[in-house]
Every structure is written in C-alpha cells, then in structure tokens.
Amino acid sequence: TSTAPVTLIGLGPMGQAMGRALLKAGHPLTVWNRTREKAAPLVEQGAVLADTPADAVAANELVLLSLTDYDVMYRLLGDLDAELRGRTLVNLSSDTPARARAGASWARERGAAYVTGGVMTPPPGIGDPSMSTFYSGDKEAFEAVRPVLETLTAADFRGTDPGLAQVYYQVVMNLFWTSMTSFVHSVALARAEGIAVGTIVPYLVESNDMADFYRGLGEEITAGEFPGELERLSMDAASADHVLHTARDAGVDDTLPAAVMSILQRGLDAGYHDRSFSILATLMDAGDR
Ligand code: NDP
C-alpha cells in the first residue's frame, strides 16, 4: 500500500492539505469537490479530478472523506450503492460519536469497510508525523491502509467502536473551544480596562500552562479523593466570583464567568466548601443541574 492509489472527496483547507501530502508521498490521487476550482492546484501536481462523487468512489478502493460533517457525506454518497461495495471509507470529517456510529452502519450495509478519524491539527500540520489523528472502527481495514494514513499525521487507533475516534476528538475539542473562548473573553476584559492586546497576551500565554493542573486534577479524580489541602472550593468560588464582577463592572459580556460561577455554586450547594476543585467532576451528570 505504500504508493496505493487514493480517492479524496472534499477539498476544503483540510482536504487540500491532505491532497498535497498524498501526492508528495507518491500516491496516485483522484479528487472530487463541489467547488471544482479548488482542485486546480492538486490537478496541476498530478491529481485526477473526477466528474462526480460516484466516479471518484469508483476510481479507487481507498476513499478518504474530508467534509464539513456527516450530512455532506450522505448528500454526496447517499444514493450510491454498488460503487461502495468493497471500498474502504475513511471519514476524516468531524461530527458527533452517534453520527459516526450511524455512518459506519450505513457504510457496512453497502458492503464498505468504515474507519472514522478525528484530525488533531489544523491544515499546516498535515504531513507532519509529530501531529496525530484519532482513528476507530474496522481494525483490519485500518491496518491495511495505515501507511497511507500515516502520510497525513501519526495514526492513533483507539478501538473498534466507530464512534470512539469522535469521542476522543470531541472531548479534546471541548477543552479547546472553552479555552479559545476564554482567551477572547480575557482579551476583551483587558481592553475594556485600557490594556492593549499586545500587552496582555504574553501574560495570558504565561499563565495558561495547564499541564500540571490537569495532571493533579486527574490524579485526584482517579483516586476519588478531593482533600482541599492547597485550595478549597470556598476560595475557588470567591475567586471566580471576583472574575464575574470584574467583567460586569467593566461592561464586558459575562456569559462565560457566569457559567463558571454557576458550576462552582453547585459545589457549594452540595456542601463541598472544604474540598478541592476536582470534586466538581462528581457533579457533571446532566441530572445534577
Ligand atoms: P470545510 O467545511 O471548509 O470544507 C469541507 C468540504 O466540505 C469542502 O470540500 C466543501 O466543499 C464541502 N462541503 C460543505 N458543504 C457541502 C455541500 N452541501 N455539498 C457538497 N460539499 C460540501 O472544512 P475543512 O476543510 O476545514 O475541514 C474538513 C473537516 O476536517 C471538518 O470536519 C473539520 O471539522 C475537520 N477539521 C478541520 C480542521 C481545520 O483546522 N480546518 C482541524 C481539524 C479537523 P466546497 O469546497 O465546495 O465548499
């Protein structure tokens, strides 16, 4: 499979980067994209532009999808049947674990092997083996095409449940999006108080190395022990409340600090004043609200 031919459907920023990496590694490449002009740079480098999604699928046994979500996959491939038989579909589009599992059933019913992927880098990291992608689903099919997938990023196979790659991906993205949102909110708060973006950013970078916090929290949650020795929930809540009121006083949107405060308040309401922040992990069932 080291120079196996590949079909790639979807040439957004991610698909284009994947196409470049596959061509660079010597894979004959067939592509299809709704907006056909986006294929031009890849065609210039030797890719073949298929006329229809059906033609693209028919061209090669291995079919990679890089689409906005699963709805787009059904829109493009939903009417195909015979073309899908014997194919290996590797869907690198992100969506919910439930939709990934349904997609796997849909593919299996049509005789296609199915692997899901959650790509853990923006397009510039494609082709870089220090970047990684979560995969799950059909293990045999995955192992057969692993060398091709490893031209994109390192490949981290998490298990045979086709939803699993998206579970890992969405858990990491949950942390990512809250951090990103917190960043723009913090910058807005600084600006409202007259501090320039360029002045505050280095401080935010400096204070946001969370690795040791995550490890410590993880250990407490694993042990089920929330000792409250170095930090207590009553102090945490007072501190979060100061953040909330600082935002309100500055006239900055308070959605985010209010949400943080409401979760901490749940811990206080449960009587956990003297316990560590990590005990909030025990209050995360939807039913706790
Ligand atoms: P885009 O949404 O920009 O593009 C994906 C592709 O979907 C394009 O080829 C687009 O076609 C196609 N598409 C969207 N709607 C339709 C439709 N109705 N009919 C036909 N085709 C459609 O996504 P990216 O390329 O940025 O990303 C692809 C996947 O990778 C996504 O699932 C994303 O979550 C994931 N990902 C992206 C990262 C990033 O930084 N970009 C990082 C990690 C994962 P057209 O060109 O015609 O619009």
Report the alpha-carbon distance of residue 221 to residue 215 in Å, rounded.
10
pLDDT digits (tens, 9 = 90+) for 242-267: 999 999 999 999 999 999 999 999 99
Q: Give me the pLDDT at residue 1, please.
A: 52
Q: 12: CA distance to ligand 1 center in Å?
A: 5
Q: Supply the residue whose CA is at minimum distance from atom 39 of ligand 1.
A: 122
pLDDT at 230: 87
- Structural domains in the chain, CATH included, are 6-159 (3.40.50.720), 168-288 (1.10.1040.10)
pLDDT score at 288: 65
Q: What is the pLDDT of residue 208?
A: 83
- Nearest-CA residue for ligand 1 atom 21 is 34
pLDDT of residue 141: 98
Helix extents (H) in 78-135: 97-109
User: Ligand 1: which of 7, 11, 14 to mutate, most ligand atoms within 8 Å of CB?
Assistant: 14
Atom from ligand 1 closest to the CA of residue 68: 2
Long-range own/partner contacts, residues 126-133 (CB < 8 A, 24 or more apart): 126/14, 126/17, 126/18, 126/20, 126/21, 126/152, 126/153, 127/17, 127/20, 127/21, 127/24, 127/151, 127/152, 127/153, 128/153, 129/153, 129/154, 130/154, 132/156, 133/92, 133/165
Going from the Cα of 152 to the center of ligand 1, the distance in angstroms, rounded, reads: 16
Pocket test for ligand 1, best of 20, 33, 64, 67 (most atoms within 8 A of CB): 67
Nearest CA to ligand 1 atom 20: 34
Residue-level pLDDT at 278: 97
Q: Is 261 helix (H, G, I), strand (E, B) or coil?
A: helix
CA of 68 to the centre of ligand 1 (A): 4
Can you tell me the ipTM of this complex?
A: 0.98
Specify the residue with its C-alpha closest to ligand 1, atom 8.
12
The residue whose CA is least distant from atom 3 of ligand 1 is 12
Low-confidence ranges of the chain (pLDDT < 70): 1, 288-289
The set of protein residues with a Cβ atom below 6 angstroms from ligand 1 is 10-15, 33-35, 38, 66-68, 72, 75-76, 92-94, 119, 122-123
pLDDT at 289: 61
pTM of the model: 0.93
